[in-house]
Amino acid sequence: MIPAGEVPTGTRRIQAGVLALVIALAAGGGASAHPLQFSFVDLNLTGTGFDAAITIHGFDAAHDLGLASEADVYAPDFGTAHGSRLMTLLLSRLVIVADGVRVQPASIDVRAVPDQQAVVLRVEAATGGPTVRIHVAGVLFPYDPAHQTFVRLFEGGTIRQQAILTAARPDADFVSGRAQGRVDVLKRFVRSGTEHIAIGPDHVLFLIGLLLTGGGLWPLVRIVTAFTVAHSLTLTLAALDIVTPSARLIEPAIALSICYVGVDNLIRRPDSPDRRAWIALVFGLVHGFGFASVLREMDLPGHLLGWSLFAFNLGVELGQLAIVVVVAGVLALIRRRWPAVGRWLVVGGSVAVIWAGFFWFIERVFAI
């Protein structure tokens, strides 16, 4: 028999492993709290070729140029001092093929846009006539495996087609004169919604924090349903430009929601009512505005706006369900086989959740 107060060696090893996992998740989330993990390549077709605007975040520019800080990107002499090197770097990673022939765009200018925390690189290319088929490929920032590049094809000043380049899918094909249909939009936005929840450490950690204290199937279903209903509502309102609160308010608020979940786990008594569904409902409204920031940047296709919103919400929901099934299953297994570890995990995991939320709050208050 094991004396009271002692923990078996095997259990201690499990505790150490779980602690390492929780700390790695929290620390990894903090390290990847990159303000915006996406960039844009806007291709505007003309009768004899195309011109393009490549918009990247100042954080990425500073990183790949080896600058001391992001603030250096917004200096008045940035374009003169670093524009040529940045242009060469990005064009070496971006491949554009027009009707089977690789195009080498010529530089027009490089301009920092401090109020958008961005850098815009403008290029142009002559193809000798109207372009029919365009192939775009490349990973603009290999250092960030979660980075996404939104490619938008303009014809006559109107977005006709869009695609998302990622490390897993680094290329896309376009055909001029054809607007994207319903199936294309559904596939793209479901995938985008799923990827957004997967690469959004703050949303993931919020969900994990709610799951730490366990519970039966129906309590977990209520938590997920409440979160889905709430974020779907505000995501739609923001995407339609009905309610658009500033990211300076929303991003720190999302971080505070994570802290709140961790604190609630620690102070809630075992016999007290389970309020997690209400927490998910209230803070889900805030997280929905965070999701919407991505949709607004993507310029939803007006003729299929409803389908775009539905597909993105569906993608987010699928991502959430995958997380809930895996995390809830693992936590249930731990509680059943090692009850002591399960009780310890609530405390250790909640502390890690609070730490990550507080880190993001400080970073977003002073960095956004």
Q: Could you read off the pLDDT tens digit of each residue along the chain, which spans 368 residues?
A: 334 344 444 444 444 444 444 444 444 444 444 445 788 999 998 878 889 999 999 999 999 999 998 999 999 889 899 999 999 999 999 999 988 889 889 889 999 988 888 899 999 998 877 777 889 999 999 998 888 898 988 887 777 788 888 888 899 888 776 555 566 667 777 877 787 776 678 888 898 999 888 877 788 888 888 998 898 898 888 877 788 888 788 889 999 999 999 999 999 887 788 899 999 999 999 988 887 766 666 555 655 667 777 888 888 888 888 888 888 888 888 888 888 888 888 888 899 999 999 998 988 887 65
Residue 240 carries which DSSP code?
T
Q: Do both 197 and 340 map to the same domain?
A: yes
pLDDT at position 11: 44
125 vs 96: CA distance, rounded Å: 10
Phi-psi sector, 201: left (phi>0), alpha (psi -120 to 50), beta? alpha
149 neighbors 40 (Cβ within 8 angstroms): yes
Q: Do both 139 and 214 map to the same domain?
A: no
Tokens of 344: 């310890």
Residues 6 or more apart whose CB falls under 8 angstroms from that of 235 comprise: 288, 289, 291, 292, 295, 309, 312, 313
pLDDT at position 242: 86
Q: Do both 201 and 251 map to the same domain?
A: yes
Residues 6 or more apart whose CB falls under 8 angstroms from that of 157 comprise: 44
Reported in sequence order, the residue ranges of 295-344 that DSSP labels E, i.e. its strands, are none
Q: Do both 97 and 197 map to the same domain?
A: no
- Please report whether residue 111 resides in a domain: yes
Q: Do both 226 and 358 map to the same domain?
A: yes
CA 280 to chain centre: 19
Q: Is the dihedral of CA 83, 174, 182, 169 positive or negative?
A: negative
Q: Do both 230 and 361 map to the same domain?
A: yes
- From the list 79, 364, 130, 81, the residue with the least C-alpha distance to 248 is 364
Q: Do both 67 and 137 map to the same domain?
A: yes
Tell me how many domains the chain contains: 2
Tokens of 299: 């310029």
- Please report whether residue 355 resides in a domain: yes
Which residue in the block uniquely carries the two structure tokens 């209230």? Answer: 282
Which residue in the block uniquely carries the two structure tokens 């889905």? Answer: 228
Q: Do both 208 and 349 map to the same domain?
A: yes
72 vs 58: CA distance, rounded Å: 9
pLDDT at position 155: 83
Q: Do both 95 and 122 map to the same domain?
A: yes
pLDDT at position 178: 57
- Please report whether residue 7 resides in a domain: no
pLDDT at position 297: 61
pLDDT at position 269: 82
Side chain identity at residue 105, one-letter code: P
From 179, 210, 240, give the residue that closes a domain.
179
Parent domain of 349: 193-367
Q: Do both 46 and 174 map to the same domain?
A: yes
CA 287 to chain centre: 12
Enter the pTM of the model: 0.61
- Please report whether residue 87 resides in a domain: yes
Q: Do both 217 and 250 map to the same domain?
A: yes
Q: Do both 208 and 343 map to the same domain?
A: yes
